[in-house]
Amino acid sequence: MLKVGVIGIGNMGFGMAARLRSLGWPVAVRDIDAERELAAAALGARLCGTPAELAAGCDCVIVVVVDAAQTEQVLFGADGAAAALRPGASVMLCPTLAPQDTERFAAALAQRGIDCIDAPVSGGPARALDGSMSLMLACADAVYERHRELIDALSAKVFRIGARPGDGARTKLVNNLLAVINLAGAAEVMALAERMGLDLTRTLDVIEQSSGQSWIAVDRMRRALAGDYAPRARTTILDKDAQLALQMAAAARFSVPVGQAAADAFRRACEAGAGALDDAALFEVARRRTP
């Protein structure tokens, strides 16, 4: 087994680290949240004080932070992982990033003789924990084969996108823009159903088994009907992803008016104070619309 380190053990990163530990993999972790680190240590993970300390003992560093700024910091900042990795080691980039950032990080790592696996993830923490999350991979074939055991341990839903760094990021943003559209639409129609006096649980049951169904819509609206907005996926995360997707579309000179409208709904939800809540809170924002 490769010696693996996970930098960023929030909801997804913790699920991935816990998944590997459950299968007997040696895992080192680093996070700014001491409670998360202690929870990982209870599973047998090795705690590291800096990304560099973690990287010094690893063959593959999995980065599961929030955005490009955090990725830059943990890889190339003070005590960053890149300087401590040996040539021939690898970095797996799992955050949702702009394609040009992924390309930039891959190029900087290549200059140090370090392989980069463009590897966005999707599915939520429960699916990260049980190995059923989606994993979108863009890397050289030889790099993929060398990491196949690790990749298969992390996910039963592995999609080989290609060899070009950045194509994993592009695929993830296309997916997430559709997730934004589906969730914004679900929040709106459920608020409409409530305004018309329909039973919301029955309405959602119909949607789940009919043509309006989408996984993210049903998953989030179940939480909303239960009044459960504990943040598994904060509204700010999909707001950030929506903006990245719009920027990508603009760079491709392609108009996405439905995506723009859905992204605006997320932006309004953040401005209304729902940014730190689970993104199911879009329902609360929609139901408060003035007639």
DSSP helix/strand/coil, 169: helix
Three-state secondary structure call for residue 229 = coil
What separation in angstroms does the CA of 269 have from each of 9, 22, 272? 26, 37, 5
Annotated domain spans of the chain: 4-165, 170-287
**For residue 248, what are the contacts with CB-CB under 8 A and spacing of at least 6?**
98, 99, 170, 173
The tokens of 78 are what? 């003070």
Buried b (16+ CB within 10 A) or exposed e, 78-116: ebbbbebbeeebbbbbbbbbbbebbbbbbeebeeeebbb
User: What pLDDT, in 10s, does the model give residues 91-121?
Assistant: 999 999 999 999 999 999 999 999 999 999 9
Q: Is the pLDDT of residue 291 over 90?
A: no
Q: Can you tell me the distance from the alpha carbon of 224 to that of 127, in angstroms, rounded to the nearest whole number?
A: 20
Q: Which of 3, 157, 172, 240 is catalytic?
A: 172
Q: What is the mean pLDDT of residues 21-29?
A: 96
Looking at the predicted structure, is the pLDDT value of residue 124 above 90?
A: no
Mean of pLDDT values over 168-178: 97
Q: Using 50, 70 and 90 to split pLDDT, how confident is the model at 215?
A: very high
φ, ψ dihedrals at 280, nearest 5°:
-60, -20
Provide mean pLDDT across the span 126-153.
Answer: 95
Structure tokens that stand for 230 in this block: 């504990």
Which pLDDT does position 289 carry in this prediction? 82
Mean pLDDT taken over the chain: 96
Q: Which fold has domain 4-165?
A: Rossmann fold (3.40.50)
Residue 50 Rama label (left phi>0; alpha psi -120 to 50; beta): beta
Predicted model pTM? 0.91
> What's the pLDDT score for residue 47?
96
Q: Model confidence over 40-51: pLDDT tens digits?
A: 999 999 999 999
- 24, 18, 29: which is closest to 2 by C-alpha? 24
What local confidence, expressed as pLDDT, does residue 1 receive? 80
Tell me the mean pLDDT in the region 77-101. 96
Residue range 72-85: average pLDDT?
96
The pLDDT of residue 232? 87
Residue 277 confidence (pLDDT) above 90:
yes
> What average pLDDT does the segment 225-252 reach?
95
Predicted confidence at residue 268, as pLDDT, reads 95
- What average pLDDT does range 78-83 have in this prediction? 96
Mean pLDDT throughout 27-49? 96
What CATH class is the domain 170-287?
Answer: mainly alpha
Please determine, for residue 290, whether its predicted confidence score (pLDDT) is greater than 80: no
List residues bridging with 92 in a β-sheet: 62, 117
Single-letter code of the amino acid located at 165: P
Whether 172 is catalytic is yes
pLDDT, residue 228, reads 96
